[in-house]
């Protein structure tokens, strides 16, 4: 049922309309839009209606490559090392589980299947590590989710993709060299090259993405016109992906490093990179996922057989169970530990790209067909089930619909310390001033801010009782408030009106233009932390900055940390 002679533009229009309509229908059925787009893609693709020729679909490949590059930049943007300072432990433990325990156990589950070689087992096991970045980004955007869970999820996906590409590179090289040695015993096998391959992949991809990122930062340093910022950002993404493809390295990894560079090199410039395409984001997603569905070929499903069933089941158990164990060991909040694994189930994009590497490697001809059969079967299952589980995880984590600005939105995990131990109030203020400048990445005069806070303290003590102190000062530059929190479990013996030691010290820095919000924040903190015994009991004994952040952004805190647009509408 080919639309014979259809131009690429007509094909793109059909794909876009189908993706938008199927996404809208899926949302009405309370399913993720991604699921609807993949399903309509399957119906239009090679397995069912086969509406376009393969040649026509190949002409649209640059569109999907750009969309994947854009998604990779978005994911990389969530690896802001300053923001992830307190999340390092839970992310590193999770990554360690995903690149060691998961592939080892999947290999063990497959290697004993009759007729399965160790080369096939390690390749399929390495493939199981991958989580689909595009699916995660699309569902987070669709559900308007934001918070500690989303922060952990997005960073985990970025690290997962880096780890997966490196482990697969090792598995691919080892399997290829081993099978080549079987056909030609004199070919030999080099363990050193197996270890060097992923290292070279990382270095070259990081160099391409990093160099392009710094070039974009430099060229847009004094540019303010939106059209030029968008043009430069478009060039940067195309150049990064194109260069990586040209030299034979991973365009996905290079674009991910581009996002990392922008996140850490331009922390206060949200107008370059992937963000300039925000208005077209849904169109990109609709095309990408519809075409991804069209590429899935169900003819492989039958021959996938037992290998696919074992892969799917083992991967699902290890994704969910491994994330829970890792988060528990890292003492992450319960809602993160219980739901993170569910959100990591989707698998496409990267997995399909890695399978193409095997398809093009003639050394692996003896195992290529069964590898593609099992791999594609698992990808199909995970891309249909995965988006549903991801959205369920976001709902269970309580972060759906939370991407709107809130009153105390400027304080997050990276702005909190829970081992706050000082002898004097002055020492505490000095320590919090340093944390405020470093965690918010500010270039302000430290001594001037400290003097402003101490001068205010001399006029009247900001220890308001019930274990709470809110020292504050004025900054001359900027239009945003900044804040940090220091929590002491034992209590700080300052001079307080009620004699209760200070357990929570909140330092605020406010520009002159935000005096009204400053008063609102002071009142909210006094009413919540200063008066609510339940919040005091939780916050004063928070085990980590993540737990403290969870408390002040939880639903129970919404009466105080309210959504600003709701407050304006109410007034």
Whole-angstrom Cα distance, residue 446 to residue 565?
A: 33
- Mind giving me the DSSP string for 168-211? HHHHHHHHHHHHHHHH-GGG---HHHHHHHHHHHHHHHHHHHHH
312 falls within a domain? yes
510 falls within a domain? yes
**Do 188 and 250 belong to one domain?**
yes
Look at residue 490 in the predicted model and tell me its pLDDT.
87
221 falls within a domain? yes
Whole-angstrom Cα distance, residue 390 to residue 118?
A: 32
Look at residue 272 in the predicted model and tell me its pLDDT.
67
**Do 438 and 504 belong to one domain?**
yes
**Do 256 and 347 belong to one domain?**
yes
Q: Is the pLDDT of residue 45 over 90?
A: no
Look at residue 571 in the predicted model and tell me its pLDDT.
43
Q: Which two tokens stand for residue 52?
A: 């376009």
448 falls within a domain? yes
pLDDT bin (cut points 50, 70, 90) of residue 570 is very low
Q: Which two tokens stand for residue 525?
A: 């903190």
Stretch 348-371: mean pLDDT: 77
Whole-angstrom Cα distance, residue 71 to residue 38?
A: 17
Q: Which residue has the tokens 């935000």?
A: 514
The percentage of residues in the chain with a pLDDT greater than 70, rounded to a whole number, is 89
Which residue, of 328, 363, 396, is where some domain finishes? 396
3 falls within a domain? no
Look at residue 518 in the predicted model and tell me its pLDDT.
80
Name the residue range of residue 435's domain.
413-570
What are the counts of helices (DSSP H) followed by strands (DSSP E) for the chain? 23, 6
Which residue, of 396, 423, 455, is where some domain finishes? 396
**Do 384 and 525 belong to one domain?**
no
Q: Which residue has the higher pLDDT, 162 or 358?
A: 162
Whole-angstrom Cα distance, residue 337 to residue 324?
A: 5
**Do 380 and 422 belong to one domain?**
no
354 falls within a domain? yes
Angle, to 10 degrees, between the axis of helix 226-246 and the axis of helix 191-219?
160
**Do 300 and 350 belong to one domain?**
yes
Look at residue 568 in the predicted model and tell me its pLDDT.
44
301 within 8 A of 380, measured Cβ to Cβ: yes
Nearest Cα to 72, choosing from 293, 384, 383, 284?
284
Q: Count of CB atoms within 10 A of residue 495's CB?
A: 9
Q: Which H/E stretch holds residue 463?
A: strand 463-465
**Do 303 and 222 belong to one domain?**
yes
Q: Which H/E stretch holds residue 23?
A: helix 8-28
Nearest Cα to 294, choosing from 555, 46, 549?
46
**Do 381 and 427 belong to one domain?**
no
Relative to beta strand 502-511, strand 472-475 is parallel
162 within 8 A of 129, measured Cβ to Cβ: no
Mean pLDDT of the chain: 83
**Do 383 and 497 belong to one domain?**
no
Partners of 463 in beta bridges: 469
**Do 365 and 485 belong to one domain?**
no
Domain of 191, CATH number, reads 1.20.1530.20
**Do 478 and 374 belong to one domain?**
no
130 falls within a domain? yes
Partners of 416 in beta bridges: 485
Whole-angstrom Cα distance, residue 145 to residue 489?
A: 31
Ramachandran class of 169: left when φ > 0, alpha when ψ lies in -120 to 50, beta otherwise: alpha
Domain of 513, CATH number, reads 3.40.930.10
Tens digits of residue pLDDT in 427-453: 999 999 999 988 888 888 888 889 888
Q: Is the pLDDT of residue 164 over 60?
A: yes
The percentage of residues in the chain with a pLDDT greater than 90, rounded to a whole number, is 18
Which residue, of 396, 430, 464, is where some domain finishes? 396
386 falls within a domain? yes
Q: Looking at the 3D structure of the chain, how many domains does it have?
A: 2
Q: Which two tokens stand for residue 95?
A: 């990554």
Tens digits of residue pLDDT in 165-224: 888 888 888 888 888 777 766 555 555 666 677 788 888 988 999 999 899 888 877 766
Q: Is the pLDDT of residue 531 over 80?
A: no
Q: Which residue has the higher pLDDT, 565 or 176?
A: 176
Tens digits of residue pLDDT in 471-514: 988 887 777 888 899 999 888 888 888 888 999 999 988 887 77
Candidate from 57-66, 187-196, 393-402 with smallest mean pLDDT: 187-196
pLDDT bin (cut points 50, 70, 90) of residue 419 is confident
Taking CA 145 as the corner, what is the angle to CA 139 and CA 148, rounded to the nearest 5 degrees? 120
**Do 480 and 448 belong to one domain?**
yes
Relative to beta strand 463-465, strand 482-492 is unpaired
Q: State how far Cα 441 lies from the chain centre.
A: 21
Whole-angstrom Cα distance, residue 187 to residue 170?
A: 18
Whole-angstrom Cα distance, residue 251 to residue 242?
A: 7
């Amino acid at each position: 049922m080919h639309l014979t002679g259809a131009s690429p533009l007509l094909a793109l229009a059909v794909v876009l309309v189908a993706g938008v309509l199927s996404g809208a229908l899926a949302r009405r059925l309370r399913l993720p839009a991604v699921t609807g787009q993949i399903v309509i893609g399957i119906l239009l693709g090679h397995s069912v209606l086969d509406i376009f020729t393969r040649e026509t679909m190949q002409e649209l490949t640059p569109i999907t490559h750009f969309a994947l590059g854009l998604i990779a930049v978005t994911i990389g943007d969530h690896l802001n090392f300053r923001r992830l300072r307190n999340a390092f432990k839970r992310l590193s433990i999770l990554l360690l589980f995903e690149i060691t325990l998961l592939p080892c156990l999947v290999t063990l589950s497959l290697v004993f299947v009759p007729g399965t070689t160790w080369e096939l087992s390690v390749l399929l096991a390495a493939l199981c590590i991958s989580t689909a970045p595009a699916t995660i980004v699309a569902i987070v955007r669709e559900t308007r989710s934001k918070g500690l869970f989303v922060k952990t999820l997005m960073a985990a996906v970025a690290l997962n993709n880096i780890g997966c590409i490196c482990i697969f590179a090792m598995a691919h090289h080892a399997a290829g060299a081993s099978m080549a040695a079987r056909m030609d015993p004199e070919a030999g096998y080099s363990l050193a090259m197996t270890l060097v391959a992923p290292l070279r992949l990382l270095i070259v991809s990081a160099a391409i993405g990093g160099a392009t990122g710094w070039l974009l930062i430099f060229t847009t340093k004094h540019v303010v016109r939106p059209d030029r910022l968008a043009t430069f950002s478009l060039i940067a993404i195309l150049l990064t992906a194109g260069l990586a493809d040209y030299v034979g390295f991973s365009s996905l990894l290079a674009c991910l490093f581009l996002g990392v560079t922008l996140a850490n090199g331009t922390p206060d410039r949200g107008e370059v990179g992937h963000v300039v395409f925000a208005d077209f984001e849904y169109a990109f997603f609709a095309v990408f996922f519809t075409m991804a569905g069209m590429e899935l070929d169900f003819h492989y499903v039958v021959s996938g057989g037992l290998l696919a069933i074992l892969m799917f089941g083992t991967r699902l158990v290890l994704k969910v169970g491994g994330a829970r164990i890792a988060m528990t060991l890292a003492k992450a909040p319960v809602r993160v530990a219980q739901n993170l694994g569910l959100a990591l189930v989707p698998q496409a994009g990267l997995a399909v790209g890695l399978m193409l590497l095997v398809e093009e490697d003639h050394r692996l001809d003896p195992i290529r067909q069964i590898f593609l059969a099992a791999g594609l079967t698992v990808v199909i299952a995970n891309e249909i089930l995965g988006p549903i589980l991801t959205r369920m995880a976001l709902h269970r984590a309580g972060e759906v619909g939370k991407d709107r600005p809130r009153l105390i939105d400027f304080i997050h995990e990276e702005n909190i310390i829970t081992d706050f131990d000082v002898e004097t109030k002055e020492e505490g203020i000095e320590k919090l001033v340093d944390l405020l400048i470093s965690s918010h990445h500010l270039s302000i005069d430290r001594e001037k801010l400290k003097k402003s806070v101490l001068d205010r303290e001399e006029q009247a003590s900001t220890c308001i009782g019930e274990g709470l102190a809110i020292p504050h000062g004025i900054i001359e530059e900027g239009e945003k408030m900044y804040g940090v929190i220091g929590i002491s479990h034992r209590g700080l013996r300052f001079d307080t009106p009620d004699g209760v030691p200070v357990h929570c010290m909140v330092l605020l820095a406010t520009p002159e233009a935000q005096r009204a919000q400053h008063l609102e924040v002071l009142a909210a903190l006094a009413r919540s932390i200063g008066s609510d015994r339940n919040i005091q009991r939780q916050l004063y004994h928070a085990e980590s900055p993540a737990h403290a952040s969870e408390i002040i952004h939880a639903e129970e805190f919404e009466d105080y940390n309210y959504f600003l647009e709701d407050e304006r509408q109410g007034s």
